[in-house]
């Protein structure tokens, strides 16, 4: 295989894209290495000697101070992370007092290790104070035999002094250190009794005790060392002037530098004003008002994450007037505007730079302008980040200095006093608005830092070229002009300027110019023209910047430390104002250059917010191992975003987790304490689990509420005055659902998969809850169940657009235990069948007019045992309380009955897979119920008299009723009659239930036919017949065949086989859909099944007459039994309560009439039914009364009974008409009688067009 050329491989790589759709909602990644390359010389300024500036001693002292600074930071980390060892010491019980000596020895050995660190700090601070004092004294000698101090040297002095101030402050604040020392001294006294020589150890111990117990011992020692030999007021005043001007002119680019200046300035002032003479000298150079303004603007100075400094007690009292200066919430509007403006302008500058890189042969001036603009944007970005992060530091220091006094308005004094100090300064010290503002500011810091970090490689060359151009323009043009004009006759200053040009000028950038032009420029030439050079990405080193700053300072000050005014003050100077301004501007730019070149490390410093987590001082003062996560400020911010449900903050919910990244980096790299990292890691693990749970619950609630809001009836919302409360405000979860790489403590977490996993769990739990809730209710709740499942399904559809989760049908089948291919009985179908058996069929009655089943008011014989209604959060219903109330109001409309809406819901939920199983179970129930009724009906048949004749007309209604009661000797069979009636009622309820189901299925079949008929070429004909529109093939087959033919005929067709396959599939679909159009009727099938079940008992319930004639008097067929049951039931219902529907309802008529009809006894029943005969007698009696004009006393008292009989007859006629329409019995044997009395053995029933023509009407 031939090797691929390098050029082709590189070109191929350039086509790949490593970008994805994950949004940037986190800060920049934590750097693996934090080594600096520009702000600190990597070779300890060993290259300074090459410039021959006589800075050897200065460089040596500078490196010594830098080493002390690094060691001091490690000492400060030891003190800050120091935790009491005494708390962990075991307490011996009384039974082990004999081992007290051993305990003292082991305690001493443990504490001695910690005390050795304190001794090391004591020795180090003494050495550092001596070296710092000696360094200051070196530059305070009157003769000034050495050059310096350089500006870099001044910074190092200030940094070392700051380290000493922080060490002293930590020593004063840490109460655990003297406590441990007292235990250590006590154990030393006990264990040193047997030791031979302990005098030196005791002296060392006394020195350590004095050091630890003396406040500000380190600074006092430094003061003594400074003024031991000669005064150092000169260098102290220089440091004060430098610090004041840096603060006033915003010379410190990074916020740590500004805070350092604020911390050391009060100490410098105290040391420089130790005598009255020194005070007058200082205040001549620096007006006291300047110091007061600085201290007044910054009364609280951050020192450590949970420690602060106050310049003076007086300023601390005055600081109450400056609260607005510290609280971020008072500045967040301006910060937001700054962020938006900077983001737009930075993006515009980046676009210009990308356009420049893609343009060949661009104009030089335009290149310089674009790159210079990019440099200005980076400087502005660093200044913004520094200012914003400083505000976070300063607000934290303010909060720590002002703990919350009132924990809560409802808390009692006793309860509020039980809270720890840390809770009062953090947990209860931030209002909701302050938390929101802090989250927003953290997001701005991290987002701007991430935006600038991503563009590192794109703008590096532009930054280096701009810095190179600035330096070269100054040394080659500006200094050349000064040498020709201002400094022409000043040899000493001219020499310094020449040295500046020598050590930093890049003459190689001029080599592309013509030699003549180059020579003329180099030797003076035209003074109006400056040197032209080509910018190169070559930046100055730290040593070059260090030397340039020193030389500029030498030019301005002339080596006189006592020069009045500031560093660049013009009093007493011979340098013109314009030249002085140019030197000052370039002097300050030099310090910026180093931070710009150290791009990544500067961004890491400016976006480091890890201090928000640390709480070492309060852990010690509260005497606890660790605080709960509710007290952790990063988690408080995350929790606030989740609880507030603010759409604008949701995308920033991951930003506070960057605080944990920063704090972990600080613990490992700066503090170098593994136990701190372990504590941070443990908290992050716990917090992230809670965060994912809360976030998923918020997402589920939002999508559930969104779905429920969309599924609300529009007419309902239109009728409301406050319909807007049911609308859902949009939330920005989309970006969070795309997060596949969340950076947390060096790990990458797929948040999207975690959310998907929990969403699957939520949906399954919700389905489980809905089924449990349905199982604790009756069958009428099927509409509510279907509505809630529809809401859940719609929620799944909305969420599936942004997240890959399991299909809803899979989860629904899983929760219904209907996964297997051979499983047809789902959990819901089984519950419906169980509910029908135990509650619906026994306790619900039918109202035929309204086509509804309602619960009977009669107390059930067997109490129905149901589980209690499960409790769940609102998001398992419809999301919010308002939406729950709205949907429950709809559910209550269907909770008191079972009708067509319930049947539609039942069919939608069960589907075509489980519904046949339920139908079969109900039909088996009919068969079993008929088998159960057979012996009961046989018992009733046996108690009938041998002969029951027709009721006579001469006795009237009263006589007929008395005769019926005499003939029906069922007085002792009341329980048996009731049981038979309940059985017939259940059979009728099942059949009518099948009728409702048949109506729903036919409606759905009609809809399906309307959708498929145009494609199949079918038209509806008369009598429900379907006619074919075309004699040939259907339109869908013709469409695919013609399309296939047209495509295949094209010679460019690559694969005609696939199109032929599609044509064949269209023919198969045509046959399949046509076969499924002729579906049967569920009701007709149920009637046929019931007829087959009755065939077993036809000989007992429908015996053929022995004579061939109709048996009038001796018949004991089923119609005779039902006739007696019906008149007894009617009489009982009239006597007990006026509304007979509350007893057994209309299902009895449906069950009894269906059995009579299927047994071929309809005409027998209509001829010989007791109630029908009584109605005939009542009609004759009423007619005779009208003819004789007598008062109707004979029928008095039977009006209610007669009305009930009429209603029963109308209902029976309606049922018979329905049965004739749906199940005609032309092939059944039936008997009739002509008016002459001759028998008519065979007759066919007439089939009516519509059974609804005989529907009982009101008043008939």
Residue 511: predicted pLDDT: 53
Better pLDDT: 280 or 1170: 1170
Residues 224 and 235 in one domain: no
Q: What's the CA gap between 959 and 464, in Å, rounded? A: 123
Contact 527, 484 (CB under 8 A): yes
Contact 446, 385 (CB under 8 A): no
Confidence band of 148 (pLDDT split at 50, 70, 90): low
441 belongs to a structural domain: no
Q: Kindly tell me if the per-residue pLDDT of 729 is higher than 60.
A: yes
- The whole-number average pLDDT for the span 422-426 is 86
Q: What's the CA gap between 505 and 498, in Å, rounded? A: 10
Residue 678: predicted pLDDT: 92
- 250, 282, 297: which is the final residue of a domain? 297
Residue 521: predicted pLDDT: 37
Q: What's the CA gap between 747 and 60, in Å, rounded? A: 43
Residues 886 and 1021 in one domain: no
Place of tokens 């704090």: 663
pLDDT digits (tens, 9 = 90+) for 876-915: 888 888 888 888 888 888 888 999 999 999 999 988 888 8
- 580, 606, 632: which is the final residue of a domain? 606
Place of tokens 């917010």: 609
Residue 1152: predicted pLDDT: 92
Better pLDDT: 209 or 808: 808
The first and second tokens of residue 423, run together, are 């809770």
Q: How many helices (H) and strands (E) does the chain have?
A: 48, 11
Residues 1146 and 1183 in one domain: yes
Report residue 308: phi and psi, to 5°.
Answer: -140, 165
Comparing C-alpha atoms, which of 781, 772, 771, 789 is closest to residue 869? 772
Task: Give the CB-side neighbour count of residue 295, counting CA atoms within 13 A.
Answer: 20
Q: Kindly tell me if the per-residue pLDDT of 1255 is higher than 60.
A: no
Length of the chain: 1260
- 883, 898, 913: which is the final residue of a domain? 898
Residue 1243: predicted pLDDT: 43
12 belongs to a structural domain: no
Q: What's the CA gap between 876 and 1053, in Å, rounded? A: 54
Q: What's the CA gap between 888 and 680, in Å, rounded? A: 47
The listed range with the strongest mean pLDDT (298-302, 809-813, 1030-1034, 1051-1055) is 809-813
Lowest model confidence (mean pLDDT) among 343-347, 420-424, 678-682, 992-996: 420-424
Residue 349: predicted pLDDT: 93
Give 39-45 contacts, CB < 8 A, sequence gap 24+: 39/542, 39/594, 39/595, 39/598, 39/601, 39/602, 40/66, 40/542, 41/541, 41/542, 41/543, 41/546, 45/542, 45/543, 45/546
The listed range with the strongest mean pLDDT (405-419, 902-916, 1067-1081) is 902-916
Q: Is 687 exposed, middle or buried (0-12, 13-18, 19+ CB in 10 A)?
A: buried
Residues 216 and 246 in one domain: no
How many domains in the chain? Answer: 6
1186 belongs to a structural domain: yes
Confidence band of 531 (pLDDT split at 50, 70, 90): low
Place of tokens 């129930």: 925
- The whole-number average pLDDT for the span 1222-1232 is 57
Place of tokens 């030999």: 229
641 belongs to a structural domain: no
Residue 1233: predicted pLDDT: 44
977 belongs to a structural domain: no
Residues 249 and 157 in one domain: no
Q: Kindly tell me if the per-residue pLDDT of 1254 is higher than 50.
A: no
Q: What's the CA gap between 197 and 180, in Å, rounded? A: 24
Residues 245 and 222 in one domain: no
pLDDT digits (tens, 9 = 90+) for 373-384: 999 999 999 999
Comparing C-alpha atoms, which of 741, 747, 757 is closest to residue 805? 757
Contact 550, 151 (CB under 8 A): yes
The first and second tokens of residue 884, run together, are 């729950």
1068 belongs to a structural domain: yes
792 belongs to a structural domain: yes
What is the domain range of residue 1241?
Answer: 954-969+1090-1254
- The whole-number average pLDDT for the span 244-268 is 83
Can you spell out the DSSP letters for 238-296?
HHHHHHHHHHHTT---SHHHHHHHHHHHHHHHHHHTSSHHHHHHHHHHS-HHHHHHHHH
Confidence band of 1044 (pLDDT split at 50, 70, 90): confident
- The whole-number average pLDDT for the span 1043-1062 is 82
Confidence band of 686 (pLDDT split at 50, 70, 90): very high
Residue 798: predicted pLDDT: 93
Residues 1018 and 1159 in one domain: no
Mean predicted lDDT score pLDDT of the chain? 79
Give 167-170 contacts, CB < 8 A, sequence gap 24+: 167/72, 167/75, 167/76, 167/79, 167/121, 167/125, 167/218, 168/216, 168/217, 168/218, 168/219, 169/303, 169/307, 169/309, 170/76, 170/79, 170/80, 170/304, 170/307
Residues 189 and 256 in one domain: no
Q: Is 1258 exposed, middle or buried (0-12, 13-18, 19+ CB in 10 A)?
A: exposed
- The whole-number average pLDDT for the span 121-125 is 86
Residues 277 and 202 in one domain: no
Quickly list H helices, 723-815.
Answer: 751-775, 782-800, 808-815
Q: Kindly tell me if the per-residue pLDDT of 154 is higher than 50.
A: yes
Residues 1226 and 1098 in one domain: yes
405 belongs to a structural domain: no
Place of tokens 């402050």: 169
Residues 717 and 847 in one domain: yes
Residues 98 and 71 in one domain: yes
């Amino acid at each position: 295989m031939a090797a691929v050329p390098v050029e082709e491989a590189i070109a191929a790589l350039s086509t790949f894209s490593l970008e994805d759709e994950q949004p940037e909602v986190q800060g920049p990644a934590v750097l693996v290495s934090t080594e600096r390359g520009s702000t600190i010389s990597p070779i300890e300024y060993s290259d300074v000697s090459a410039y021959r500036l006589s800075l050897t001693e200065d460089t040596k002292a500078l490196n010594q101070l830098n080493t002390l600074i690094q060691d001091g930071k490690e000492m400060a980390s030891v003190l800050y992370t120091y935790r009491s060892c005494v708390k962990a010491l075991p307490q011996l019980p009384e039974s082990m007092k004999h081992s007290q000596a051993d305990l003292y020895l082991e305690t001493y050995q443990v504490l001695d290790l910690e005390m050795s660190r304190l001794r090391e700090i004591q020795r180090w601070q003494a050495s550092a104070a001596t070296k710092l004092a000696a360094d200051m004294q070196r530059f305070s000698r009157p003769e000034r035999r050495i050059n310096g101090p350089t500006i870099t040297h001044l910074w190092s002095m200030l940094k070392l002094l700051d380290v000493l101030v922080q060490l002293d402050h930590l020593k004063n604040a840490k109460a655990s250190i003297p406590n441990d020392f007292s235990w250590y001294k006590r154990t030393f006294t006990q264990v040193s009794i047997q030791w031979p020589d302990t005098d030196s150890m005791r002296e060392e111990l006394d020195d350590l005790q004095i050091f630890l117990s003396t406040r500000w011992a380190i600074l006092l020692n430094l003061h003594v060392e400074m003024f031991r030999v000669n005064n150092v007021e000169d260098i102290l005043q220089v440091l004060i002037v430098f610090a004041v001007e840096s603060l006033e002119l915003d010379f410190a680019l990074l916020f740590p530098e500004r805070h350092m200046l604020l911390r050391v300035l009060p100490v410098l002032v105290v040391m420089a004003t130790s005598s009255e003479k020194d005070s007058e000298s200082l205040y001549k150079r620096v007006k006291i008002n300047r110091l007061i303004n600085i201290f007044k603007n910054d009364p609280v100075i951050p020192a450590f994450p949970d420690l602060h400094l106050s310049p003076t007690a007086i300023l601390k009292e005055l600081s109450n007037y400056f609260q607005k200066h510290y609280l971020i919430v008072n500045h967040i509007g301006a910060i937001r505007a700054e962020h938006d403006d900077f983001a737009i302008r930075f993006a515009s500058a980046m676009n210009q730079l990308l356009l420049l890189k893609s343009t060949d042969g661009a104009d030089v001036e335009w290149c310089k302008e674009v790159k210079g603009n990019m440099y200005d944007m980076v400087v502005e970005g660093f200044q913004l980040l520094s200012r914003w992060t400083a505000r976070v530091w300063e607000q934290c220091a303010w909060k720590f200095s002002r703990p919350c006094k009132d924990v809560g308005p409802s808390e009692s004094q006793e309860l509020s006093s039980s809270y720890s100090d840390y809770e009062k300064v953090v947990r209860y010290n931030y209002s909701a608005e302050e938390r929101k503002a802090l989250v927003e500011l953290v997001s701005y810091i991290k987002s701007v830092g991430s935006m600038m970090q991503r563009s590192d490689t794109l703008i590096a060359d532009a930054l280096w070229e701009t810095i190179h151009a600035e330096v070269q323009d100054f040394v080659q043009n500006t200094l050349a002009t000064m040498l020709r004009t201002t400094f022409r006759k000043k040899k000493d200053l001219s020499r310094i300027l020449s040295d500046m040009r020598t050590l930093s000028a890049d003459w190689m950038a001029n080599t592309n110019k013509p030699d003549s032009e180059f020579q003329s420029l180099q030797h003076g030439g035209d003074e109006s023209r400056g040197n032209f050079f080509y910018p190169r990405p070559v930046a100055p080193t730290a040593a070059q910047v260090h030397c340039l700053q020193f030389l500029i300072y030498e030019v301005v000050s002339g080596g006189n430390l006592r020069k009045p005014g500031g560093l660049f003050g013009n009093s007493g100077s011979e340098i013109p104002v314009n030249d002085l301004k140019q030197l000052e501007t370039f002097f300050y730019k030099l310090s910026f250059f180093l931070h710009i070149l150290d791009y990544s490390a500067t961004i890491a410093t400016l976006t480091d917010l890890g201090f928000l987590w640390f709480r070492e001082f309060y852990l010690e003062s509260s005497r606890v191992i660790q605080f709960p996560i509710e007290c952790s400020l990063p988690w408080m911010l995350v929790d606030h975003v989740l609880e507030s449900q603010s759409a604008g903050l949701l995308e920033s919910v991951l930003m506070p987790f960057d605080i944990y990244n920063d704090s972990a980096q600080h613990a490992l790299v700066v503090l170098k304490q593994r136990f701190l990292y372990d504590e941070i890691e443990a908290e992050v693990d716990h917090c992230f689990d809670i965060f994912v749970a809360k976030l998923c619950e918020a997402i589920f609630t939002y999508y559930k509420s969104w779905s429920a809001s969309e599924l609300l009836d529009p007419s309902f919302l239109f009728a409301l005055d406050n319909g807007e409360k049911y609308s859902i405000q949009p939330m920005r979860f989309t970006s969070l659902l795309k997060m596949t790489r969340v950076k947390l403590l060096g790990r990458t977490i797929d948040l999207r998969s975690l959310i998907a996993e929990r969403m699957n769990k939520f949906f399954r739990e919700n389905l489980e809850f809905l089924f449990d809730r349905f199982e604790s209710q009756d069958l009428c709740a099927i509409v509510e169940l279907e509505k809630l499942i529809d809401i859940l399904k719609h929620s799944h559809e909305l969420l599936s657009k942004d997240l890959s989760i399991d299909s809803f049908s899979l989860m629904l089948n899983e929760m219904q235990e209907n996964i297997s291919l051979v499983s047809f009985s789902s959990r819901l179908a089984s519950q419906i069948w169980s509910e029908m058996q135990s509650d619906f069929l026994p306790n619900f009655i039918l109202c035929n007019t309204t086509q509804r089943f309602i619960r009977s008011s009669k107390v059930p014989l067997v109490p129905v045992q149901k589980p209690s209604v499960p409790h769940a959060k609102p998001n398992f219903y419809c999301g919010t309380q308002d939406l729950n109330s709205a949907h429950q109001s709809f559910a209550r409309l269907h909770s008191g009955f079972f009708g067509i809406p319930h049947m539609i819901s039942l069919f939608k939920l069960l589907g075509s897979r489980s519904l046949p199983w339920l139908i079969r179970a109900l039909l088996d129930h009919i068969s079993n119920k008929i088998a159960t009724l057979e012996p009961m009906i046989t018992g009733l048949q046996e108690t009938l008299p041998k002969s029951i004749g027709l009721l006579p007309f001469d006795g009237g209604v009263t006589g007929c009723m008395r005769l019926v009661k005499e003939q029906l000797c069922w007085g002792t069979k009341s329980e048996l009659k009731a049981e038979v009636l309940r059985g017939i009622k259940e059979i009728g309820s099942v059949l009518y239930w099948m009728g409702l189901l048949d109506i729903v299925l036919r409606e759905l079949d009609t809809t399906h036919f309307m959708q498929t008929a145009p494609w199949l070429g079918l038209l509806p004909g008369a009598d429900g017949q379907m006619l074919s529109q075309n004699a040939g093939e259907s339109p869908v087959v013709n469409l695919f065949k013609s399309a296939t033919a047209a495509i295949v005929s094209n010679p460019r067709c690559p694969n005609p086989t696939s199109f032929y396959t599609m044509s064949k599939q269209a023919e198969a679909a045509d046959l399949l859909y046509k076969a499924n159009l002729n579906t049967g009727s569920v009701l007709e099938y149920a009637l046929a099944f019931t007829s087959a079940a009755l065939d077993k008992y036809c000989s007992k319930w429908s015996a053929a007459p022995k004579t061939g004639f109709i048996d009038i008097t001796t018949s004991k067929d089923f119609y005779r039994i039902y006739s007696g049951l019906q008149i007894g039931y009617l009489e009982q219902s009239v006597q007990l309560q006026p509304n007979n529907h509350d007893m057994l309802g209309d299902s009895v008529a449906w069950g009894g009439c269906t059995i009579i009809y299927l047994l071929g006894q309809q005409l027998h029943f209509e001829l010989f039914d007791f109630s029908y005969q009584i109605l005939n007698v009542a009609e004759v009696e009423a007619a005779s009364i009208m003819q004789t004009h007598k008062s109707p006393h004979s029928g008095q008292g039977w009006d209610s009974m007669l009305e009930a009989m009429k209603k029963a007859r109308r209902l029976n006629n309606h049922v018979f008409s329905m049965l004739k329409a749906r199940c005609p019995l032309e092939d059944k044997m039936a008997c009739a009688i002509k008016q002459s009395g001759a028998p008519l053995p065979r007759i066919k029933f007439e089939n009516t067009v519509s059974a609804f023509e005989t529907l009982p009407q009101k008043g008939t």
